[in-house]
Amino acid sequence: MYQGRCAACHSLDHNGVGPAHRGLFGRLSAQVPGFGYSDALRAARQVWTEESLNRWLADPEKFAPGQRMGVSVPDAQERAHLIAYLKQATAPAK
C-alpha cells in the first residue's frame, strides 16, 4: 500500500517531493532536515503518533490548513494498514 499511496512523493530515507519517513513516529512535525515544509505544517507542531498520523492522512487540510500535501486516505481501514506499515518500516535505522 505504501508503494501505491506514498512512494511517488516519499521514501523511507531520502527527501523527495515529500519528506523522508525514517524515524517518523515520535518526531515533531516539519522537522526532517533539508525539506522545505509549509508554514502551516511547521505551525501545527504535532508529534507524529498513530493518532496524529491518522488525523493527518484522513484530512491533511483539516489537520494543518494551508499545508501542501494533495493526497488523503479517506478509508479508515486503509489508513490503519498504512500506519501499521509505517510504524514498522520507519523505525530508526540500526
16 pLDDT tier (thresholds 50, 70, 90): very high
Task: Place 67 in a pLDDT band, splitting at 50, 70 and 90.
Answer: very high
What domains are defined for the chain?
A: 2-89 (1.10.760.10)
Instruction: Work out the number of other CB atoms within 10 angstroms of the CB of residue 3.
Output: 7
**Residues 8-47, buried b or exposed e (16+ Cβ, 10 A)?**
eebebeeeeebbbbbbbbebebbebeeeebeebbeebebe
The answer to whether the beta carbons of residues 64 and 38 sit under 8 Å apart is yes
Mean pLDDT of the chain: 93
pLDDT tens, position by position, 21-55: 999 999 999 999 999 999 999 999 999 999 999 99
Mean pLDDT for 3-18 is: 90
Q: What is the pLDDT of residue 93?
A: 67
